[in-house]
Amino acid sequence: MDETETDDIAGPKTVRNDAEIRGLLGIVSPQELAGALGVYVGTLKQWRYRGVGPPYVSSERNVYYRLHDVVEYLHKRTKHPVNTEASGGEEKRQEG
């Protein structure tokens, strides 16, 4: 199903595609997330199987990622490099 008709309270029916509806719901598909992260869809599948990676929602045969969960996942893994010259040549990392 690519498009859904919705009744706007004040106007005529508008047609929204699945990507627009997901955007309104704040979710992305594995294909969209893989593209954004620069990984393969199969990598996301492996992460789900292994219990790593961002949290996901499964519904029947579909998998989705909530945007706020993805942002939180990335935030927890943010590395903050320290100036290597000031630390004697060693890079120290602090987790966010």
Number of folded domains in the chain? 1
Mean pLDDT (the chain) is 83
pLDDT in tens, 10-49: 566 778 888 888 888 889 999 999 999 999 999 999 999 9
Closest to 61 (Cα-Cα) out of 30, 16, 92, 15: 30
Structure tokens at 56: 């996901």
3-state secondary structure of 76: helix
pTM equals 0.67
Going by pLDDT thresholds of 50, 70 and 90, the confidence category of residue 91 is low
> How far, in Å, are 19, 57, 77 from residue 60 at the CA level?
18, 10, 30
CB 80 within 8 A of CB 94: yes
Domain that includes residue 74, residue range: 3-95
Q: Which residues pair with 60 in a beta bridge?
A: none
Closest to 65 (Cα-Cα) out of 3, 22, 35: 22
